[in-house]
Amino acid sequence: MSASLEKGIHALKEVIDAPIASYFESCVHCGLCAEACLFHTETGDPKYTPIHKVEPLRRVYEREYTLLGRLKKMIGLSKPVTDAELDEWQELVYDSCTLCGRCSLVCPVGNDIVYMVRKLREGMAVSGHAPAGIRSATKNTVESGGPMGLKWPAVANVLRKAEESTGLRIPVDQEGAEYMVLLSSMEIVNYPEYIDALAKIFHKAGISFTLSSEAYEATNAGIQIGSSDLAKVIVSRIVDAAEKLKVKNVLSPECGHAYMAIRWEGPNLVGRPFKFNVVHVLELLDDLRLKGVLTMRDKLKDPLILHDPCQIVRRGGVLQAPEPLIRQVAENYIPIADKQKLNWCCGGGGGASAIHTEAAEALRATAFRIKKRQIEEAGVGTMVTFCANCRITIEEGFDHYEMNTKLLGLTELLAAHLEA
Amino acid sequence: MQGPLIDTLARQGVTRRTFLKYCATLASMMALPPAAGRAMAEAMAAVRRPSVIWLPFQECTGCTESITRSHSPTIEGMIFDMISLDYQETLMAAAGHQAEEARQNAMKANAGKYLLIVDGSIPLGQNGAYSCIGGRSNVDILKEAAGGAAAVIAVGTCASYGGIPKANPNPTGAVPVSDIVKDKPIVNIPGCPPIPVVMTGVLAHYLTFGSLPELDDKGRPKSFFGETIHDRCYRRPFYDQGKFAKTFDDEGARRGWCLFELGCKGPVTHNACATVKWNGGTSWPVESGHGCLGCSEPDFWDGGGFYKALSAPADPLKFAAAASVVGAAVGVGVSFANRAKKNKAKATHETITVADLEK
Amino acid sequence: MTDLQFLTWTRGPGLDLAVAVFLLGVLWRLIEIYTLGRKKDLAAPRHAPGASGLHTVFRRSLPPPGMLKRSPVSYIGGYVFHIGLAIIVFLGAPHVLLIKNLVGVSWPTLPSQFIGLTAVVTMAAMVLMLADRINKPVKRFLSTFEDWFTWAVTFLPVLTGWMATQHLLLPYTQMLALHILSAEILLVVLPFSKLFHGFTLFGSRWYNGRVNAHKGVPV
Amino acid sequence: MSLDAIPIQVVHTTPPGEPGLTGNAPPLLRELLEQVERLLETGVPSAIDLSALPLTPADMDWLRNALGPGEIDVTLDANGESTLSETGCPGVWWITHRNEQGAVTSQFLEVTFVPELVKAHPQDVAMGRETLERLLADL
């Protein structure tokens, strides 16, 4: 195969820009970003300090784009970034970083560290230093349509089952629909209830929607592994399908990275603004709530807390929708201290949940202690979230710590209590 | 107390007690023990008049004025009565060839024994042509005269450190005596002008002890230049209290507060003005309301402005414009190189395929 | 070189040189950094109140919720020494005199006793920060020679300035010269070290604020 | 503008509120005691140069008050007035030299039976004899 260090450096030279230069020049090694990173707070290991995770990128920046670095390089004072070094950093850039972006929120000089990790992954991916799990997920998505290798007949099967259980029609490839609904493989496989819920809500609101047999998968392992070219391949399917079906909106599923990929990276990957809007399902739901469509039959009594998925809330900007929606359906919603843009990651984002090495899984379990603590401190038995990937990671965490906390998806919860 | 000098003085109407009193005061000023006054008187009274040659170079005659116009000419003059001033252009009656002849004669007659006093700096530019006496350059005359001298006394800041002629841009290439004379003991008595008693004090010391007084690292007699103006200034308490005059006519100036902010160089100037004062002890610059210029220190003229506080910069924006242009040029240069590199990287981008993810 | 010549050098050619290198460095580095450019964000923006580059430039001056408790030494020590330095540099009488000489504007100053006290507090905070850097695993792990060096380069002007005004250890002339020299070293080092954050932090905060404001997130 | 309008005023050399006492004067009494003892035992005179010491006018006043006035005051008119006054401690003389302008040029505390300056020098006495002889001759 053809990954190489040269390709990696080449990729980094392409992506290094003024913000990255400014960020590296601003860093004073204060270490505050470590306090915002759950991999550091839960392990205490200083190597998980976010700014340290992008050290190879800094080295390339200094050597390639600063005069002093170039001079140092010329007289042999600075050593080039090596394969061995990138290999060492793989754990730091992927296993212990979920692209949650919490570090970017606290840096006193204003460094957007997650921005830099995302860019560093461009070089890591093509130099062959991406973890096997994310590599195969990417490969599957590019070659067979989804990270789990799910094909359309299987999806159609799930849709049929949803039609049966809800008694509602789920249109496919219908031109001119208001919404083109995207799913994530995880939802199709693990949480098919989501599809039921969506069908109910659309029908109740009287909004036309459709699925596309050509683009049903919203997740984009390309942005997780950090390859814009591959991410573009994946996102282009959606763009093509949406434009072919002439839909007004594309509905991103609960999945966080899917939303990031299509809503924010998408236009930049294909190199032009979209002709349709990208809407997160919670934005749609909140809109319906405001229109009075989303009335509830009854409310959930259990005390519960909300887990705000990083890519949707802090990184995706869906800040205001979740709380009114949970209040719509839950009587005993308990707001926690670090909520909304300050929430702590589940530990499985950014592709991390696809890494199945023993070390990575053990690290994720350790990092999960922060979520465990939040649940225990709130003293609740239920947690609600709205990201399929978070749900898988959190359930793994519950299993690991043998917790009997209930985990619910927000959209399903709303659908379950929806007034008929 | 007997000797040729005291007889001479007596003839001039200077009494023995006057002389004793003068010696006591001189010893006090030179920080010698009180008993030294009498010893000085004894020694000087008996001394043989040494030959002294006074060479004026690039100077303004201010040093000569200072000593000859001092408050009590008879007393200061006394010292000059103790020496045989064989050559001093300003004071001597002789002129032209006669004067030069007197100098040559004195040098021959007292070879190796005469004292050489120099005031003014020595220009080296254009082979010394900027200042000549009788067709000979200053540097030439100095070398010749210093060759036979027992010691050299550089009077005034010009002779000591180059002074105003050496100030930037030093058009004449002026240098101090110590740059030219390397093999003779040199006493520097800087000041613009120097304090008269300091000049006579050094002569008295030489006459009394036959040696030169102890000098500091800048060749100045420690007894007069051992402390800074600031250390002995009567306005020092105001400095310590942080009370400063901000202008020459504000309340602080009227109250006699510290002149530091008005550019006083007292803290870095070594001289005896604060204790000896000027004009017969009448006053001195700081007492008159003006900061010390630092005239007894090397390069005082280029010390960054007389009215700039010591903490203020001399001329910090000298290269600012040039530096800004160079900085911007370097930045733009790097910027072009960076953009070229980045554009090249982008242009040679190979679309990544799944195969590129693995080695 | 004598004391006075040393002082005259530091006030004259030394300062000339330091200011020149400083200006040269600052312009060079700023142009070098900010002309690298960045891509336009093609995604349809989401607008949110309080989300903009400028908002973030100011907002980041305060600790985000919960952070003060997590790292009190970094924040309190950091505030104290930064504010202390600002007070000393911008409200100390000799410094205002210097600024007046440089650019022609001046403003009222604080009494020297207060500045002296501020210097002591500032130095205490800096020593505390140094101890924290040595003690705290993350900070020690991140620290390179540059971190120790820039600490010293920042600390020395405060120390020498304070010692000069308090007449400690060396005569005033020498201490003042050392103080000015140390400030000159600071000027020379600043554009080429992490001390340059004094300039770039505005750019960094602005970029961070702007990138996230595009998504409607006030960061 | 009249001359009076120019704001010049005479200032005190010690800052207001400063008592001016440095504490440097009292130790001098101890030194004087030693010098007086030496004078009594060996007959060797000695002196303290007051102008070389860091004494404020207030210190001087304190010292003068402490020593008190004596019986003898000698005034010497030689290029300015000098005063040689015995203090309240016999053998301790306060000597002040002034220049022709009246400014103090030096000040000493001399410990001696009679200050040297007061005694007439044999040579001067010889000149006095000549004067006397001339006077007699002229009679």
The better pLDDT of the pair A174, D8 is held by: A174
Enter the tokens of residue A69.
């670095």
Q: Dihedral, CA atoms, D78, D81, D87, D92, nearest 10 degrees?
A: -40
Among C28, C167, C18, CA closest to C98: C18
Q: Which residues of C touch A40 (CB under 8 A)?
A: 138
Enter the tokens of residue A393.
């990671």
B208 domain residue, yes or no: yes
Interface test with B, best of D28, D79, D121 (most B CBs within 10 A): D79
Q: What is the pLDDT of residue C161?
A: 94
The residues, ordered by sequence, that sit 6+ positions from C208 with a Cβ below 8 Å of its Cβ are A19, A23, A104, A107, A110, A111, A112, A115, C56, C60, C219
In CATH, which superfamily holds the domain spanning D14-138? Answer: HupH hydrogenase expression protein, C-terminal domain (3.30.1370.140)
Going by pLDDT thresholds of 50, 70 and 90, the confidence category of residue D53 is: confident
Are both B102 and B185 inside the same structural domain?
Answer: yes
The residues, ordered by sequence, that sit 6+ positions from A420 with a Cβ below 8 Å of its Cβ are A204, A297
Angle value at C-alpha C171, between C169 and C177, nearest 5 degrees: 105
Q: Dihedral, CA atoms, C1, C4, C9, C10, nearest 10 degrees?
A: 120
Interface test with C, best of B310, B318, B334 (most C CBs within 10 A): B310
B296 domain residue, yes or no: yes
Are both B148 and B243 inside the same structural domain?
Answer: no
Residue of B nearest to C99 (CA): B312
The residues, ordered by sequence, that sit 6+ positions from C149 with a Cβ below 8 Å of its Cβ are C189, C193
Question: Could you tell me if A271 lies within 8 Å of chain B, comparing CB atoms?
Answer: no
Asked if C212 lies within 8 A of A104 by C-beta distance, the reply is yes
Residue of A nearest to B331 (CA): A67
Reported as a single tens digit per residue, the pLDDT across B172-216 is 999 999 999 999 999 999 999 998 888 888 888 888 888 889 998
In the DSSP assignment, the letter for residue B242 is: T
Interface of C with B (CB under 8 A): 2-5, 7-8, 11-12, 15-17, 19-32, 35-37, 93-95, 97-98, 100-102, 111-113, 172-173, 176, 180
- C touches D, CB cut-off 8 Å, minimum 3 pairs: no
Extended beta strands in chain D, E state = 46-49, 69-77, 81-87, 92-98, 104-111
Query: What is the percent of chain A where pLDDT is above 90?
Result: 72
Residue B141 has pLDDT above 90, yes or no: yes
Largest CA distance in chain B: 119
The ipTM (two decimal places) reads: 0.75
Burial class (CB in 10 A: 0-12, 13-18, 19+), C174: middle
Q: How many CB atoms lie within 10 A of CB B39?
A: 15
Domain ranges for chain D: 14-138
Which of A:344-403 have CB within 8 Å of B? none
Residue of B nearest to D125 (CA): B16
Enter the tokens of residue B13.
């109407």
Provide the whole-model pTM: 0.73
Q: Which residues of A touch B358 (CB under 8 A)?
A: 1-3, 128, 135
User: Which domains does chain C show, CATH number per domain?
Assistant: 3-28+67-213 (1.20.950.20)
Q: Which residues of A touch B351 (CB under 8 A)?
A: 229
Alpha carbons B348 and B329: distance in angstroms, whole number: 28
Mapping DSSP to helix (H, G, I), strand (E, B) and coil, where does residue B55 land?
strand
Are both B108 and B187 inside the same structural domain?
Answer: yes
- The distance of A35 to chain B (nearest Cα, Å) reads 32
Nearest to A3 among B342, B345, B358 (CB): B358
B267 domain residue, yes or no: yes
Asked if B328 lies within 8 A of C2 by C-beta distance, the reply is no
CATH top-level class of A295-416: alpha beta
The residue from B222, B246, B262 where one domain ends is B222
Residue B265 lies in domain: 229-302
Asked if B313 lies within 8 A of C2 by C-beta distance, the reply is no
Q: Over chain D, what is the mean pLDDT? A: 83
Q: What is the pLDDT of residue D8?
A: 44
Q: Over chain B, what is the mean pLDDT? A: 86
Burial class (CB in 10 A: 0-12, 13-18, 19+), C59: middle
Asked if B17 lies within 8 A of D49 by C-beta distance, the reply is no
Enter the tokens of residue C194.
């992490």
Enter the tokens of residue C38.
């960045």
Residue showing tokens 């998968």: A217
Mean pLDDT of B238-245: 76
The residues, ordered by sequence, that sit 6+ positions from B74 with a Cβ below 8 Å of its Cβ are B12, B14, D79
Reported as a single tens digit per residue, the pLDDT across A144-174 is 877 777 788 888 988 999 899 888 889 999 9
B217 domain residue, yes or no: yes
Q: What is the pLDDT of residue D16?
A: 44
Residue of A nearest to C205 (CA): A110
Q: Is A340 left (phi over 0), alpha (psi -120 to 50) or beta?
A: left
Enter the tokens of residue A38.
């759950």
Q: How many helices (H) and strands (E) does chain B have?
A: 15, 9
Asked if B352 lies within 8 A of A66 by C-beta distance, the reply is no
Q: Dihedral, CA atoms, B51, B55, B56, B62, nearest 10 degrees?
A: -30
Backbone angles phi, psi at B229, to 5 degrees: -55, -45
Q: Which residues of C touch B313 (CB under 8 A)?
A: 11-12, 15, 98, 101-102
Q: What is the pLDDT of residue D7?
A: 46
Mapping DSSP to helix (H, G, I), strand (E, B) and coil, where does residue A333 land?
strand
Are both B280 and B342 inside the same structural domain?
Answer: no
Report the sign of the C-alpha dihedral through residues B348, B349, B352, B357, in that order.
positive
Question: Could you tell me if A20 lies within 8 Å of chain B, comparing CB atoms?
Answer: no
Alpha carbons B306 and B192: distance in angstroms, whole number: 14
In the DSSP assignment, the letter for residue B188 is: E
Reported as a single tens digit per residue, the pLDDT across A325-378 is 999 999 999 999 899 999 999 999 998 988 999 999 999 999 999 999 999 999
Enter the CATH code of domain A5-130.
1.10.1060
| CATH code (residue B252) | 4.10.480.10
Interface test with A, best of B334, B342, B357 (most A CBs within 10 A): B357
Q: What is the pLDDT of residue A152?
A: 86
Question: Could you tell me if A67 lies within 8 Å of chain C, comparing CB atoms?
Answer: yes
- The distance of D116 to chain B (nearest Cα, Å) reads 9
Residue A81 has pLDDT above 90, yes or no: yes
Own/partner contacts of D63-71, CB < 8 Å, gap of 24 or more, are D63/D25, D63/D28, D64/D94, D66/D25, D66/D29, D67/D92, D67/D94
Where in the sequence of chain A do the CATH 1.10.1060 domains occur? 5-130
Reported as a single tens digit per residue, the pLDDT across A275-329 is 999 999 999 999 999 988 888 888 999 999 999 999 999 999 999 999 999 999 9
**DSSP letters spanning chain C:** --HHHHHHHIIIIIHHHHHHHHHHHHHHHHHHHHTS--PPP-SPP---TT-SHHHHHHHTTSPPTTHHHH-HIIIIIHHHHHHHHHHHHHHBHHHHHHHHHHHS-----B-HHHHHHHHHHHHHHHHHHHHHHHHSHHHHHH--HHHHHHHHHHHHHHHHHHHHHHT-SS-HHHHHHHHHHHHHHHHHHGGGSGGGHHHHHHHHHHHHHHHHHTTT---
- The distance of A310 to chain C (nearest Cα, Å) reads 12
- The distance of B323 to chain A (nearest Cα, Å) reads 17
Asked if A139 lies within 8 A of B351 by C-beta distance, the reply is no
Asked if B218 lies within 8 A of C2 by C-beta distance, the reply is yes
Alpha carbons A70 and A62: distance in angstroms, whole number: 7
CATH top-level class of A134-289: alpha beta
Nearest to D78 among B15, B35, B238 (CB): B15
Nearest to C147 among A17, A29, A267 (CB): A29
Reported as a single tens digit per residue, the pLDDT across A198-221 is 888 888 888 999 999 888 888 888
B150 domain residue, yes or no: yes
Residue showing tokens 């005033």: C172
Question: Could you tell me if A267 lies within 8 Å of chain C, comparing CB atoms?
Answer: yes
Nearest to B342 among A13, A125, A135 (CB): A13
Reported as a single tens digit per residue, the pLDDT across B303-356 is 778 998 877 776 667 788 888 999 999 999 999 999 999 999 999 988 888 888
B30 domain residue, yes or no: no
Asked if D76 lies within 8 A of B17 by C-beta distance, the reply is yes
Strand order in the sheet with B84-87: B84-87, B51-56, B114-119, B149-155, B186-189
Asked if B237 lies within 8 A of D15 by C-beta distance, the reply is yes
Interface test with B, best of C3, C6, C30, C97 (most B CBs within 10 A): C97
- The distance of A341 to chain B (nearest Cα, Å) reads 33
Residue of A nearest to B338 (CA): A65
Residues A61 and A24: beta-carbon distance below 8 Å: yes
Q: What is the pLDDT of residue D12?
A: 45
Report the sign of the C-alpha dihedral through residues B137, B143, B148, B154, in that order.
positive
Reported as a single tens digit per residue, the pLDDT across C139-192 is 999 999 999 999 999 999 999 999 988 878 887 778 989 999 999 999 999 999
Mean pLDDT of D16-23: 59
Report the sign of the C-alpha dihedral through residues B219, B225, B228, B231, in that order.
positive
| CATH code (residue B179) | 3.40.50.700
Q: Give the CA radius of gyration of chain A.
A: 22
Reported as a single tens digit per residue, the pLDDT across B171-182 is 999 999 999 999
B40 domain residue, yes or no: no
Alpha carbons A198 and A218: distance in angstroms, whole number: 15
pLDDT < 50 positions in chain C:
none
Q: What is the pLDDT of residue B190?
A: 96
Among B184, B189, B103, CA closest to B149: B184
Interface test with C, best of B233, B311, B315, B319 (most C CBs within 10 A): B311
Measured in Å, how far apart are chain B's first and last C-alpha atoms?
A: 109
CA atoms within a 13 Å half-sphere pointing along the CA-CB vector of A163: 10
B39 domain residue, yes or no: no
Interface test with B, best of D8, D12, D48, D105 (most B CBs within 10 A): D105
Mean pLDDT of A240-269: 92
Q: Which residues of B touch D100 (CB under 8 A)?
A: 71-72, 280
Q: Which residues of D touch B38 (CB under 8 A)?
A: 116
Q: Over chain A, what is the mean pLDDT? A: 91
Are both B58 and B167 inside the same structural domain?
Answer: yes
- The distance of B298 to chain C (nearest Cα, Å) reads 7
Asked if A65 lies within 8 A of C36 by C-beta distance, the reply is yes
Enter the tokens of residue C177.
């010269």
Reported as a single tens digit per residue, the pLDDT across A123-142 is 999 999 999 999 988 888 88
Question: Could you tell me if B316 lies within 8 Å of chain C, comparing CB atoms?
Answer: yes
CA atoms within a 13 Å half-sphere pointing along the CA-CB vector of C36: 25
Residues C190 and A19: beta-carbon distance below 8 Å: no
Q: What is the pLDDT of residue B243?
A: 79
Helix H segments across B177-281? 196-209, 222-225, 229-232, 236-241, 251-254, 273-276
Are both B90 and B194 inside the same structural domain?
Answer: yes
Among A50, A27, A49, A26, CA closest to A101: A50
Mapping DSSP to helix (H, G, I), strand (E, B) and coil, where does residue B341 land?
helix
The amino acid that residue C136 corresponds to is K
Are both B72 and B214 inside the same structural domain?
Answer: yes
Q: SS in 3 state form for B273-338?
A: HHHHCECCCCECCCCCCCCCCCCCCCCHHHCCCCCCCCCCCCCCCCCHHHHHHHHHHHHHHHHHHH
Are both B137 and B170 inside the same structural domain?
Answer: yes
- The distance of A53 to chain C (nearest Cα, Å) reads 11
Cis ω before B193 (30° cut-off from 0): yes
Interface test with D, best of B17, B23, B32 (most D CBs within 10 A): B17
The helix or strand, by DSSP H or E, that contains position A137, with its residue range, turns out to be helix A132-144
Are both B138 and B212 inside the same structural domain?
Answer: yes
Where in the sequence of chain A do the CATH 3.40.50 domains occur? 134-289, 295-416
Q: What is the pLDDT of residue A376?
A: 93
Backbone angles phi, psi at B256, to 5 degrees: 75, 35
Residue of A nearest to B346 (CA): A14
**Domains: count for chain B:** 3
Largest CA distance in chain C: 68
Among B69, B67, B66, B71, CA closest to B83: B67
Residues pairing with D106 in the sheet: D97
